[in-house]
Structure 1
């Protein structure tokens, strides 16, 4: 449930409650009590299924529509910045909005809670996989989740498109972005940067792109309870940047240096640290954009996984809440278990899993805490508004391409890639269609669009149906 791009030149006009002061504090306290915010972030963390589209939709519903703590324009402004960063944009958006509500501590709590349930769940599934040697029962238990994810993403495309594509230029940008990704295999960063540049250039001839207001700005979205000026803000400065950068780099690398010093620079743990630190810096476009690189390194370079095991790890990661990039935790856990060095294999698995999680997600906090003050200062820049408007239109195409990807790989057992010059098109092998997946996708779509079920409730029912179907087959 994303919102449309609008003019950031005007702040939300709602007056903050009596006593609210600029900078995110009321008489020395947070505008939103930290305890209340923490409870909401914990509730959000248990519903973050369905990839970034579903996760962003959950935050939009809780923070913008239900609690009305953040205005839709402010939420979208933060989202567009996160879309430009490497790493999981939904988790970075949680950090950003947590920072807006409660400062650095709020950002830390929001970001940690966002990944904690998924980390614990995937750790348990990794133990089950390694102990049992077979994930057929586990994957059978969650066989209904992938069809439900298709419905969640399709609903996100519908809602985002309805609110965001309010001008013909934006529709064209969304379609072009979808075709670039799904047909021409253009890299995700190129699509996003290109859409932003086109939004800025086209705004010279279409001024509405700089001041565009859509449904989410009027009848579709309630005004926030708190004015923009009452949210947290840090004054950007070189001193602040150096301080946050120094602390962030120490936190990022100090545990790695301790492990390498204790277990050796040629150990599996050092390799895990190097590989996933690099992954954190190149993972533009979300998990799917970087999983091919991780799989190639884990299977061919390091020999940690057998061919096909990456798919099993991805299937397990899709059943857990939180960012899909959490699959790197599974890869590292299996790698360390099989190459424990002087450690007990189970201790090695735990250390490898936590190490990969640490080096993957700590940079997300650093990117937000460093960049957010500068991005906030640019909220009034209409040229930036036009660029972000173009990016938001591209997001519709990106989510649509994700829906296509999920559908191809869930509804069919096999696909073929066809290359015709610049065209790079993946098509299903029709006789490998999965009747159960088709049936559960239909059920999930009906529940969400016809009955108005929440994503979490839909996931629960589909998981149960998948389990029953697996047990009786």
Structure 2
């Protein structure tokens, strides 16, 4: 029965059209995960009509469940759904590469000229803008997700759990998923897609891969296919980390970067905004690869460049390897490049595995409430976690030396102005960053 369906529903989406779209997306995907997901929705669902909105949102819910960058994983998922494994790899890799090359270049410029008053002033203005952008991202994701009182309650509970009690994020995710599953048994209407997403269900026309399109062959779960993917993934992770361990030693900076960012890829849920506090804690507090100011400056660069926000890890790898002088003073740039590549590899490897291995299971569940309800609850919990991150950065921007030191009124004014620009006038993120940078430069030079 499935075989006959598979033959008749192959989506008529030209491979090279998709390739050029993913390449373009890698260069224009500014605005963090919220902006990147919005771009994909506009292009894939509204304009090109390659994917139905319901299938797009179901894939998004799954990606929000996973540890790692949800926007990059969503691109991988969409590419896989349209053009099998090759399509998923192309979509995911092209989403990363432009920002990797650009961040390596910007990291080098930052290291070489970061103490120059003009550059320091620009970063002074960018950091308050980044704080405003994170608050705005919290609002946008919450507006899209929190469609009833129960989902609001889950979001508030998640915020209290992480902000007040500092509970581990995996525990928060587990509790959210469990609550979604339990409450869906008694109040299924609160988790029904047609209710929670009714505001988004617009008549965009028939999609190539529509709500009722049967699964293509590659989207049908197979134990043998899953086994192959897991074996290949194990080789791609074990081989480089064994090479680093035996050639450099387990305590070497590169080896520790590979190990730490492997854990970050597996243990941090909720996308880029949720992973950043974990990276900050490890890279700054534990390993001291870079200092707090450099970490926030790296976030500013990440917000200012295309690609997933979690590409800040490339900045961490570059600056960390540079600061450690791993190849001697004559090869600082090469050491930084190697560090950036290592952390990028170990951060994103599992993102591809999660999609290529898990998507066939998820595609078979898009009409089953027992699977969709936990994902919806997790998405709500992530809103609370991102709000915690916004407060985390506010503290470091407005009290750069801690609460016991003076409040930075100039940074506060730039933050307020950026919030007004984003919330009231809906000005593009890049314009906000640019104007804030100029304001910061003016303040920095006048002080």
TM-score between the two structures when normalised by the length of structure 2:
0.82
Superposed counterparts of 1:181-200, under 5 Å: 181-200=162-181
Superposed counterparts of 1:105-254, under 5 Å: 105-132=86-113, 134=115, 137-214=118-195, 216-218=197-199, 221-223=202-204, 225-226=206-207, 227-228=210-211, 229=213, 233-254=218-239
Which of the residues 233, 244, 269 maps onto 1:284? 269
With over 3 angstroms needed to count, the CA separation of the structure-2 counterparts of 1:149 and 1:45, relative to structure 1, is farther
Offset at 1:279?
Answer: 3.1
Q: Does 1:37 align with 2:18?
A: yes
Q: Does 1:375 align with 2:350?
A: no
Q: Is contact 1:150-1:441 (8 Å) kept?
A: yes
Q: Is contact 2:64-2:379 (8 Å) kept?
A: no
Superposed counterparts of 1:60-139, under 5 Å: 60-132=41-113, 134=115, 137-139=118-120
Offset at 1:432?
Answer: 0.6
With over 3 angstroms needed to count, the CA separation of the structure-2 counterparts of 1:348 and 1:395, relative to structure 1, is closer
Q: Is contact 1:22-1:231 (8 Å) kept?
A: no
Q: Does 1:434 align with 2:415?
A: no
Distance 1:334 1:273 in 2: 15
1:405-441 deviation digits (Å, cap 9, x = unpaired): 333333443555xxxxxxxxxxxx7951332x33333
Distance 1:398 1:272 in 2: 25
Q: Does 1:462 align with 2:436?
A: yes
With over 3 angstroms needed to count, the CA separation of the structure-2 counterparts of 1:264 and 1:179, relative to structure 1, is closer
Q: Is contact 1:282-1:290 (8 Å) kept?
A: no
Distance 2:105 2:338 in 1: 14
Q: Does 1:298 align with 2:287?
A: yes
Distance 1:313 1:58 in 2: 24
Distance 1:248 1:23 in 2: 32
Offset at 1:373?
Answer: 0.7
Q: Is contact 1:215-1:221 (8 Å) kept?
A: no
With over 3 angstroms needed to count, the CA separation of the structure-2 counterparts of 1:268 and 1:281, relative to structure 1, is same
Which of the residues 427, 434, 444 maps onto 1:453? 427
Matched residue SS, 1:204: helix
1:158-198 deviation digits (Å, cap 9, x = unpaired): 44444433322222222222222233322222222212211
Q: Is contact 1:72-1:217 (8 Å) kept?
A: no
With over 3 angstroms needed to count, the CA separation of the structure-2 counterparts of 1:459 and 1:43, relative to structure 1, is farther
With over 3 angstroms needed to count, the CA separation of the structure-2 counterparts of 1:278 and 1:464, relative to structure 1, is same
Q: Is contact 2:126-2:300 (8 Å) kept?
A: no
Offset at 1:199?
Answer: 1.7
Aligned residue in 2 for 1:326: 311
Q: Is contact 1:115-1:323 (8 Å) kept?
A: yes
With over 3 angstroms needed to count, the CA separation of the structure-2 counterparts of 1:287 and 1:160, relative to structure 1, is closer
Aligned residue in 1 for 2:341: 354
Where in structure 1 do 4 or more consecutive aligned residues deviate above 6 Å?
20-24
Distance 2:53 2:71 in 1: 16
Q: What are the ranges of 5 or more consecutive residues in structure 2 without an aligned counterpart?
A: none
Distance 2:264 2:200 in 1: 42
With over 3 angstroms needed to count, the CA separation of the structure-2 counterparts of 1:265 and 1:170, relative to structure 1, is closer
Matched residue SS, 1:203: helix
With over 3 angstroms needed to count, the CA separation of the structure-2 counterparts of 1:187 and 1:200, relative to structure 1, is same
Q: What are the ranges of 5 or more consecutive residues in structure 1 without an aligned counterpart?
A: 1-19, 417-428
Q: Is contact 1:412-1:434 (8 Å) kept?
A: no
Distance 1:246 1:198 in 2: 34
Distance 1:316 1:392 in 2: 26
With over 3 angstroms needed to count, the CA separation of the structure-2 counterparts of 1:341 and 1:466, relative to structure 1, is closer
Q: Does 1:387 align with 2:374?
A: yes
Aligned residue in 2 for 1:419: none
Offset at 1:218?
Answer: 4.7
**Number of equivalent positions:** 433
Offset at 1:236?
Answer: 1.4
Q: Is contact 2:107-2:319 (8 Å) kept?
A: yes
With over 3 angstroms needed to count, the CA separation of the structure-2 counterparts of 1:208 and 1:470, relative to structure 1, is same
Q: Is contact 1:280-1:363 (8 Å) kept?
A: yes
Distance 2:9 2:245 in 1: 41
Q: Is contact 1:148-1:458 (8 Å) kept?
A: yes
Distance 1:114 1:323 in 2: 7
With over 3 angstroms needed to count, the CA separation of the structure-2 counterparts of 1:454 and 1:318, relative to structure 1, is closer
**Root-mean-square deviation (CA), in Å?**
3.4
Range with greater deviation from structure 2 (42-51 or 111-120): 42-51
Q: Is contact 2:127-2:296 (8 Å) kept?
A: no
Q: Is contact 2:103-2:315 (8 Å) kept?
A: yes
